[in-house]
Structure formats: structure tokens, C-alpha cells
Chains A and B, each alone.
Chain A
């Protein structure tokens, strides 16, 4: 399945256009993630995609030291963060700018920019997070 075919296609389109777009239920306004067609809470179908600012806090993280197949382009070590996007309750995985290998603290504020990850022949847009200035 390509990124253009899934329920989350508008998320990927958004990143390509430099924006973070996330889905909200048309019926009950819940933020829904993973992206879905139907809201299991209220039974409505259909979501609207809303732009969010790339500000978040650290929910958890790991720093990878083993050369796992598929992550070669990131070098070693690299740090992955799970962030809580501000004011919507959706958590996203992202990369962390971590040149000095400072362990992230849970709850620490971050700001994001859109970069790309090379995975084999594919170049995937992704949010790269940095510690908020």
C-alpha cells in the first residue's frame, strides 16, 4: 500500500506540503489516530483534516545503537521520540535532533520541522524534533 492509498493519505500529503495535518471526527470532534474512516466512539463516518502546529512534549524515547536492517540511512546512534502533539492528545513517532546525546526528559517541550528519511529506495517525509528554544 502506498502512502497515497491509506486512510492517513492526507497526513502524508500534508507533510509533503510542509504542514502537520491530523484528523478529527466529523460527528464528535475527537482526534482520531491512527487515521480511520469511522469513529468507533460515536459511530460517525468521515473525518476532517486540521492543521496543527509542530509543538509537542516527550512521551517516551529510545536511542538505537544496533544496526537494524532498514534504518541504515540514519547512522548510529539515532534517537527516536514518541511525542504528545500539543492540545490534541495524538502521539506521533518522530526523530530527535540529538547531536550531543542528551537523554530526553519525559514532558520536555519540543518543536518540529519536516525532514525526510531514506528507507531503501523510498524517501519518506517525517517530523524531526528539537528541544524548544
Chain B
């Protein structure tokens, strides 16, 4: 039997506003309103008709506060996926679809907004969600350090070569350099920039880490049937899974030894593939949340694209780029090279890629995996497609 989520809702419009960190010309809520209106404009949809909102990562913009500026007639659904990091990003689409399919809302915006002048540094906010005296007492006060400890073990215990992350970073910059909306647009990336960048928390250097931007992103979801009557080609949600399997979570680093060096997605990926009837071989392009590059490697392993043992055969620059790679990732540049508004650029690129509007088009792409924030206690992934 087809899963109820399969192809029954769709993204009808997207809006993205991105600025340098600290450089937004407008306060956070104003930028968010602009992104939502832009998503509606694309779809030919009246913003006043939006009746639901979903976010993730402790977004500060309670949807009811958006109503006066959007002219909302009625708010019927507002919720967020739990968790301070980007783990819930893909799950937000499942939550929005649940509202639509159960008749509790009819037009739901999935959003994330971040303007430093309004809500402070995102990395500090993410860590504040998790901080406790066990962490404070050992100086573990940032997501970078928490992810670094797991990256060390990826290399030193599982034997994945350290320079594998360079392939992923190079592919991100290759795509970003050709995307006019990306922070790295027009730049040439030399891998020496990564190798020579300053140490943050070993093994991470600055260029192993995503770096925050100001901005907001919004995606308008409606039923698949309704989306077909709107202005742009629908991008369907085929499936979505969020959560954690036993042995993974907020466990003071006491995750199951077999799960410790993962992004937390093994159970999520199993469920996602089972519910969509798809396999890793059916995925044409991946938007891969990389808070840190080593976590991106773990995420690709979790989602079944490779193993610890053969990771170097798959995670190669030539294989990760849109022009000819079998596993194109982050075709707008991703969190590293497009920009980082807590990952919201990734689903937006998934939609653009599947509509054929990407700066780095993947020929004939039908499916796109959105792999959410790796290493978060609650994680999520989703699959989108331009045909059911």
C-alpha cells in the first residue's frame, strides 16, 4: 500500500533572502515576511490564505506574530520540530503535510529566519539548547566541539581517511561558485584554503565548518491537487521521517557504540526508504546538511550511499558534482558555500533543482533527498520529486 505521505502534498513556491551575517538591512521578522511573500508570489498565491506554519531549531518567530503583516485570515496550525540544531529541518515538511492531509490546515509555510541583530548567534543558541554542567565543566560549549569529538573517531577508529572531507568541501564550492545567490559566487576555491585555515576544534579548521548568514527562507506547501492549479510546477513530498532510534539521542555522548560515529540517520533512512519504496540508487541528487564536513560524510554513509570501508570510492569530487557525478550533492553550494540560514537554503535548492532552475542542473533529475542536520539528537530526512 502506498504510504499516505507519498506524493499527496507539494511545494508550490519558495522564497529566500540571504545577507552577510550581521548585514541584514531589515529586522528578522521583516526579512521572514519578505521571504514568505516571495514564496507566495512565485506560486500566484495570496499570503492572506496561509493558515499554517512550521519551523525547527528553536526559531524565534512565533507564527501568530506574522499575521498582521501577512494579512492572515485565520491561523489554524503552528508548530515546530523539537531540537536546537538543524536536525528537524526535513521533519518540518512531514509535520506540514500531516496538517494538510488531516484537514487541520490547507496552506502551510515551512520557514526559518535568522538575523544576528535580532536573535543573536545561532551557534550559541543551538548550544544553549543542550548546555549543562557536564559540558560546561569540560569546555564543550559549541556544536563544533561536540561534532569534532565524533569526527576524531570517524578517522581514528573507523579508518576513514581525513582528507575525504576535502572532496565534499570542493564539490560544495564548485557549485557555489556558479550560483549567483551563493556567498562563494564567482570565487575560485583552492583546497589549500581549507588546509591552511585556522584550527577551531581538532580535527576541524574554519573551512570544515558552516558559517552563519543573516536571512530567511520560506516554502509554501499545499495539497498535491491544489499545487497543480498554481503557477509553478509542483515539487511533491514523497516521504519524510524524523526521530531517533534506540541508542541515539541526547545521551551525554553515551550513544550506542555502533551509532556513535553516525549522523543519527540509520533508522530514519531505513524508514524513509521503506515508506517511499525507494533505495539510495533511486536518489538523483542530495541536499546534504553539513554543519561540519565530517558529519556530512557520516550522513551519506547513514543514508546508504557508501560505507566506512568504501567511502573514498563514492565521496569523490568528480562523483559529487552536478556535471557528470552519480551522487551530486549541494547543487547550490550547501551550507558551506551557498550560505547558512540554519539549512533552509537546502530544501529551497531541492525545489529549484527539481524544477530545472538550479545554477547547477542535474540532467533528468526526478528525486532529491534532503538529509537534515546530522548529529542532532532528533534528526530527519525527506525525499522530494517532480513526478510521482
Q: How far is the CA of A117 from the CA of B139 in the complex (A)?
A: 8
- Chain A residues with CB under 8 A of B274: none
A131 within 8 A of B: no
Most buried by A among B137, B144, B153: B137
Report the minimal beta-carbon distance from A119 to chain B, rounded to whole angstroms. Answer: 4
A71 within 8 A of B: yes
A49 within 8 A of B: no
Q: Mark A53-86, 1 if CB is under 8 A from B, else 0.
A: 0000001111111101111001001101010000
The reply to whether B141 and A63 contact each other, CB–CB distance below 8 Å, is: no
Report the minimal beta-carbon distance from B194 to chain A, rounded to whole angstroms. Answer: 15
In the complex, which residue of chain A has the Cβ closest to the Cβ of B198? A65
The reply to whether A61 and B139 contact each other, CB–CB distance below 8 Å, is: no
From 98 to 156 in chain B, residues with beta carbon under 8 angstroms from any chain A beta carbon are: 124, 131, 133-142, 144-145, 148-150, 152-153, 156
The reply to whether B254 and A68 contact each other, CB–CB distance below 8 Å, is: no
Q: How far is the CA of A32 from the CA of B243 in the complex (A)?
A: 22
From 88 to 133 in chain A, residues with beta carbon under 8 angstroms from any chain B beta carbon are: 90-95, 105-106, 117, 119, 122, 124-126
The reply to whether B200 and A125 contact each other, CB–CB distance below 8 Å, is: no
The reply to whether B136 and A60 contact each other, CB–CB distance below 8 Å, is: no
The reply to whether A62 and B145 contact each other, CB–CB distance below 8 Å, is: yes
- Chain B residues with CB under 8 A of A77: 199
The reply to whether A68 and B141 contact each other, CB–CB distance below 8 Å, is: yes
We find that the number of chain A residues with CB closer than 8 angstroms to chain B is 36
Most buried by A among B139, B149, B153, B156: B139
Interface size band for B: 20 to 34
Given contacts A33-B252, A34-B254, A60-B153, contact A68 B142 (CB under 8 A): yes
Q: How far is the CA of A63 from the CA of B198 in the complex (A)?
A: 13
- Chain B residues with CB under 8 A of A74: 139
Q: How far is the CA of A64 from the CA of B200 in the complex (A)?
A: 6
A48 within 8 A of B: no
The reply to whether A90 and B254 contact each other, CB–CB distance below 8 Å, is: yes
Given contacts A34-B251, A90-B254, A91-B253, contact A122 B148 (CB under 8 A): no
- Chain A residues with CB under 8 A of B65: none
Q: How far is the CA of A68 from the CA of B157 in the complex (A)?
A: 27
Report the minimal beta-carbon distance from A6 to chain B, rounded to whole angstroms. Answer: 8
B148 contacts which of A62, A105, A125 (Cβ < 8 Å)?
A: A62
- Chain B residues with CB under 8 A of A78: 139
Report the minimal beta-carbon distance from A58 to chain B, rounded to whole angstroms. Answer: 10
The reply to whether B149 and A70 contact each other, CB–CB distance below 8 Å, is: no
Report the minimal beta-carbon distance from A4 to chain B, rounded to whole angstroms. Answer: 11
Report the minimal beta-carbon distance from B260 to chain A, rounded to whole angstroms. Answer: 8
B363 within 8 A of A: no
The reply to whether B200 and A95 contact each other, CB–CB distance below 8 Å, is: no
From 1 to 38 in chain A, residues with beta carbon under 8 angstroms from any chain B beta carbon are: 3, 8, 12, 33-34
List 25 A-B pairs, Cβ < 8 Å.
Answer: A34-B252, A59-B153, A60-B150, A60-B156, A60-B157, A62-B149, A62-B202, A63-B202, A64-B139, A65-B199, A65-B200, A65-B201, A69-B141, A70-B131, A70-B139, A71-B141, A74-B139, A80-B145, A91-B252, A93-B134, A95-B137, A106-B156, A117-B137, A124-B137, A126-B137
Extra A-B contacts (8), CB below 8 Å, given A70-B139, A122-B133: A33-B251, A34-B254, A64-B139, A70-B131, A93-B253, A95-B138, A105-B156, A126-B138
Q: Which residues from chain B sit less than 8 Å from chain A, CB to CB?
A: 124, 131, 133-142, 144-145, 148-150, 152-153, 156-157, 198-203, 251-254
